[in-house]
Structure 1
């Protein structure tokens, strides 16, 4: 773990030398015999001077691939790898605070060595990985005034949701071209204790230096959104990142109040609180690049900053590793034109603002969206990072399309998809907004999940067991289900890095008219080997569904994995890759809407 080092050396010495000299006589007067112990002057190290290492190089030069090497205690790195929120906790209406542990490491960047660097894991849920954890390195914490190429630290995103390694940097460049403040980024090859973890994205953090550069000051209120929106209750989900001590959040309430006004009043009041023209352009860029896990796509992954000079909010993109994908995978029929956010949805329903949004999109397509340039930039990134052609295939398909209409994986080019949506008589897609209701902070209902299943030579057998919220036990049999369907389906998600193995199990409850349930297990490919594998974010976890053909996708989500493990006894390889034998020992949490 890290040990705080102040300006006078190591340990917990916090009194400046001048003050220490004044206090020594007082300590002497307190002694029973008038004596005192005085530390050896050699125990106090000389002050560490402010220093900028690495020279004046550009830490975020787009054609740069940093070489980052981290050395730390092996057991501490194992602890770092294991930390993270549970999948189930992210679905709770009241999300508890979560703090990652901090450790001390030695770090070398492009040959420049630094001792006493604070390192911790980062990530909310989608990027959590035990094999390749995202990292934050702080050069300044234990050595006040130390920077590397004028930066106090670096943020290294593991690209878990982006095997192309290109989505974040390409997306942020599209925002900047449109005049939207966005972080700079490039790439880093990261090694920890000699282990090559692969290519990470080195992203400029949204902190005061960024705010000062982008907006000319850094004194305003900055908030980060993780599934947050404007609302009486939803605004509480914005995490305040500046001016925390004052914790004055009245500016959020002002926007909430404005959105409750009739259209004509809203059009007068809102531009005083939000840079509306800039937001509509921001919204159009999110739509252009198909960033579904974004502000307008998912009420997620963005910052807002209220500039003191104008008193208006500006939107800043963040977490763009799901850009260049398109429709929301978990919200069916979202459509091409994003509006799963209160501000976007409200403006879309006001003809003047909808026309402005559509005009922004048309302008971006006419003046900024350049397929050949995007593909050229993508190829440069691929060559720089050593990414495979397969890794960038889906991103290329998003830009230029794929196949013909009769192909199962046919895809329209992004330009054609947008033009089609813009010329439609009625707006396509459903709108999914977060509910602005008082959160239920009661303890979640849980159930043990146990089971033993196998798939050998095409024969699926076994069962998984759990208890419904009403107390009724369920034993879902794969053996019985196998008479009607393939009850254990093995597949690999190649759009994750590392790849993720999915085991989709269908079981029927013989005691309840053979009612079907579905359990989906997913395990990162490096962990898909015999052994015990603990639940960890989306990397290794379980989702429990009940079949309901009246719903989109024919299933309803019941519960998510909280804690526990999957024990793999054997796994097949080659032509027998779908063979597996496993047992389950876990706890699931039911969603708040499951009775």
Structure 2
């Protein structure tokens, strides 16, 4: 089994104290990161929302000398603190890639901080212009969904009336003001096109085939937040159509965002958000989604298919879990966690199979 990479992070004590002063401040501090004898000058901040208050922090890293490392200007190091397996996020993102969705690459690393073991982390590829370039995709805009207003509706996700702006809920990662106009037009059309014209017109602004694959991925992995959060939008500059990219998928495969076991019937087969509802209201799209789910139930979403992936990751991480200061006390739970994932797959398969009639 291949070892995971060792990353050694060094932060000046005064800068580290400044970083710790307020976890909600996004002002970076300078640091040095050593990977395979490469000394990299970086800027570092905490990342995430509620996860910033965890004992084991997650980090956002930007390279500035050199400005790129392995074709990236930025990476994310996730602590996966509430996932006792530490593999759900990677398992999910790889699953999306397998079923034909754009999805960030990820890998586990072991982080040292100022000469001490800091634990197992998941390195996540940043979804930006370099993400597109690596895949030889056309240039285009990228938006991160950052709150419940990214619900594809004209109404606020908090039920406080109409949104003040149709780009509310999104943070622009790549693009300009013209791209904001394209996003607003897409959301407006989703909400105003007549039922008779929707099937034809929505294809002009949304890659429906890719959307259905993304929807199947969210429903099968059961990411409750995935419909209005935990995704990025990419507008293909050639086709002019938007695609979904999954993000932050640790609360999946049978556990929720707090690490608690989640009922296997919690997320409905038809998901939710305005775009999903309108797409599945079109007979051809709904039946195509049904056929896709049946195909995935027979191929990718099975215990037989997922077991080698789960076992491979668990075996790879096991030697590092016992030296991670945040997880070594929970090694027994880590060893039992594959069974939680397998039970989830079994029960979720049963639920989805029993609900397929709703898509007829």
Q: TM-score, normalised by structure 1?
A: 0.52
- Which residue does the alignment assign to 2:188? 257
> 1:221–1:243: 8 Å Cα contact kept in structure 2?
yes
1:345-381 CA-to-partner distances (Å, cap 9, x unmatched) read 2223333322222211111111222313322221221
Aligned counterparts of 1:157 and 1:300: Cα–Cα separation in 2: 17
Match among 229, 243, 247 for residue 300 of structure 1: 229
- Which residue does the alignment assign to 2:130? 209
The 3-state SS of whatever aligns with 2:239 is coil
> 2:222–2:254: 8 Å Cα contact kept in structure 1?
yes
Match among 396, 406, 409 for residue 339 of structure 2: 396
> 2:224–2:267: 8 Å Cα contact kept in structure 1?
no
Considering fraction of residues, name the structure with more strand. Answer: 1
- Which residue does the alignment assign to 1:419? 353
> 1:293–1:301: 8 Å Cα contact kept in structure 2?
yes
- Which residue does the alignment assign to 2:144? 224
> 2:167–2:184: 8 Å Cα contact kept in structure 1?
yes
Aligned counterparts of 2:255 and 2:39: Cα–Cα separation in 1: 42
- Which residue does the alignment assign to 2:22? 83
Q: Does 1:239 align with 2:138?
A: no
Gaps in structure 1 of 5+ consecutive residues: 1-61, 86-98, 402-410, 428-595
Pick closer, same or farther for the CA change 1:67–1:327 going to 2, 3 Å: closer
- Which residue does the alignment assign to 1:313? 242
Pick closer, same or farther for the CA change 1:182–1:335 going to 2, 3 Å: closer
Q: Does 1:137 align with 2:61?
A: yes
Pick closer, same or farther for the CA change 1:171–1:390 going to 2, 3 Å: same
1:497-548 CA-to-partner distances (Å, cap 9, x unmatched) read xxxxxxxxxxxxxxxxxxxxxxxxxxxxxxxxxxxxxxxxxxxxxxxxxxxx
1:539-587 CA-to-partner distances (Å, cap 9, x unmatched) read xxxxxxxxxxxxxxxxxxxxxxxxxxxxxxxxxxxxxxxxxxxxxxxxx
- Which residue does the alignment assign to 2:44? 119
Considering fraction of residues, name the structure with more helix. Answer: 2
> 1:68–1:189: 8 Å Cα contact kept in structure 2?
yes
Q: Does 1:165 align with 2:165?
A: no
Aligned counterparts of 2:82 and 2:273: Cα–Cα separation in 1: 22
Match among 118, 134, 143 for residue 197 of structure 1: 118
Aligned counterparts of 2:28 and 2:270: Cα–Cα separation in 1: 38
Deviation at 1:194, TM superposition (A): 2.5
1:131-188 CA-to-partner distances (Å, cap 9, x unmatched) read 221112222x2x3x44433433432111123221111111111111111111111111
Q: TM-score, normalised by structure 2?
A: 0.83
Deviation at 1:338, TM superposition (A): 4.7
> 1:102–1:119: 8 Å Cα contact kept in structure 2?
yes
> 1:224–1:303: 8 Å Cα contact kept in structure 2?
yes
Deviation at 1:421, TM superposition (A): 2.2
Aligned counterparts of 1:118 and 1:383: Cα–Cα separation in 2: 33
- Structure scoring higher RCO (CA < 8 A, sep ≥ 6) equals 2
Aligned counterparts of 1:349 and 1:81: Cα–Cα separation in 2: 49
Aligned counterparts of 1:391 and 1:369: Cα–Cα separation in 2: 22
Pairs aligned (count): 333
Deviation at 1:426, TM superposition (A): 8.7
Gaps in structure 2 of 5+ consecutive residues: 155-162, 322-330
For the pair shown, the structure with the greater C-alpha radius of gyration is 1
- Which residue does the alignment assign to 2:325? none
The 3-state SS of whatever aligns with 2:240 is coil
Pick closer, same or farther for the CA change 1:209–1:63 going to 2, 3 Å: farther
Pick closer, same or farther for the CA change 1:276–1:385 going to 2, 3 Å: same
The 3-state SS of whatever aligns with 1:236 is coil
Q: RMSD between aligned alpha carbons?
A: 2.8
1:431-472 CA-to-partner distances (Å, cap 9, x unmatched) read xxxxxxxxxxxxxxxxxxxxxxxxxxxxxxxxxxxxxxxxxx
